[in-house]
Amino acid sequence: MIETGSASERLQALGLDLPGLGDDSTYVNHRTLGSSIYISGQLPYKDGELLGQGIVGRDVDAKTARGLARQAALNALAAAAQAVGDLDRVRIVQMLVFVASTPELGEQSRVADAASDLLVEVLGENGRHARTAIGVAGLPRNSPVEIQMVCTAV
């Protein structure tokens, strides 16, 4: 983990940029209530393209799902930065990781670890969070993963 510099600098050192977020006519990417910022579920989109589809443990292996979780977390970080105005002001409180998986997979937390690791790599202590990883029968657009977060501004 990179220990120095701003969150933006650490993100760049990882070779990543915050993606632009698309709009939807029925919901918003984030909503602030008091000091809490609720981030809508984010899928692993990159440049407008869903990076994977299918069920983890059947159509998608756990290693691929980890990469997809990382991209979904990056998208959630973009929504959080948009909400507070600056990535360095984001503190992650809770992350929910939904993994479309076979009933016997049992590796949902391992998939979620990739997203958790990214948050800590970029935000340091502000990226440490409470977390739940849940296996589900299916997700929107047949995505293998979806990530939802609760954040606060620091």
Within a domain: 112:
yes
Question: What does the pLDDT read at residue 2?
Answer: 52
Question: What does the pLDDT read at residue 3?
Answer: 62
Within a domain: 80:
yes
Whole-prediction pTM: 0.95
Count of domains observed in the chain: 1
Integer angstrom CA distances of residue 60 from 27, 28, 114: 28, 29, 15
**Structural domain span for residue 54:** 7-14+29-153
Segments of the chain scoring below 70 in pLDDT: 1-3
| CATH number of the domain that residue 145 is part of | 3.30.1330.40
Within a domain: 97:
yes
Within a domain: 20:
no
Q: In the beta sheet, which residues pair with residue 59?
A: none
Q: Quick one: tokens of 83?
A: 């909400």
Within a domain: 84:
yes
Q: Could you read off the pLDDT of 13-51 as tens digits, one per residue? A: 999 999 988 777 788 999 999 999 999 999 999 999 999
Helix (H) or strand (E) holding 145: strand 145-153
